[in-house]
Amino acid sequence: MRDFNQGATTNLSTAKKVAIISKPGKPELAAILPTLLQWLRAHEYEALIDTHTSVHLKGCKLVEREEIAAQNPTFVIVLGGDGTLLAAARALAHAKIPILGVNLGSLGFLTEVALEDLYPTLEAVHENRCGTERRTMLHCQLMRSGKCIAEYSALNDVVAGKGTIARMADFDLFMNGVFISNYKADGLILSTPTGSTAYSLASGGPILAPDVDGFVITPVSPHSLTNRPLVVRDSGQF
């Protein structure tokens, strides 16, 4: 079970709500969800479901993904692939709610629980025999004229890209107000250890162990051979 909020503490045996987030368009959910709901009710959990889950499951409280955190569920079950889990992590970024990822996708780097292991894992969670694994997240703010016009949370990475297709961009990188480097590239990726196996890796970046306290800065198609990926501490501001 993944806990994407450092410092989170949750007693899984006291609260009685579990939220279910599902990948849209997965026909196997029609067979999976009724049995899952039966297990939850047998263990005295109230099921909260998102819109995509409600297509296959009736009689449960419907809650939009962005509002699930406000319901304070004990944990969240994500049925899908890594993309579904990334979306759930963004929605729950500040809520300190553990996420149980069940792999219905093709890759499953993040959704490690196979479908056949779902109920043994749920039993372990219910009996407090399942540990949590914390992952670092990024918080990004887009500034214009000294004002924040947009902000996002990300489990994998934040990417600064160019505005035109055939034009190289210049990126000045600062950390804690100190100039680090200038990159001439198609883009610049700031990746967490979790995201080091995603876009950063495809652009030549290194793989970091999930518990490394660092970020990876990777240029996308850089102009110069001297512009290489850089690993820095995750306590800085960029």
With CA atoms as reference, report the closest residue to 103 among 26, 190, 180, 6. Answer: 26
Crossing angle of helices 29-42 and 118-126, rounded to 10°: 20
Helix residue ranges, H only, 108-185? 118-126
In the chain the first and final C-alpha atoms are separated, in Å, by 30
Report the alpha-carbon distance of residue 89 to residue 201 in Å, rounded.
21
Report the alpha-carbon distance of residue 47 to residue 57 in Å, rounded.
10
172 HSE (CA, 13 A, CB side): 4
Q: Which amino acid is at 71?
A: Q
Torsion of Cα atoms, 191 then 194 then 196 then 202, to 10°: -110
Residues known to be catalytic = 82
Report the alpha-carbon distance of residue 130 to residue 108 in Å, rounded.
19
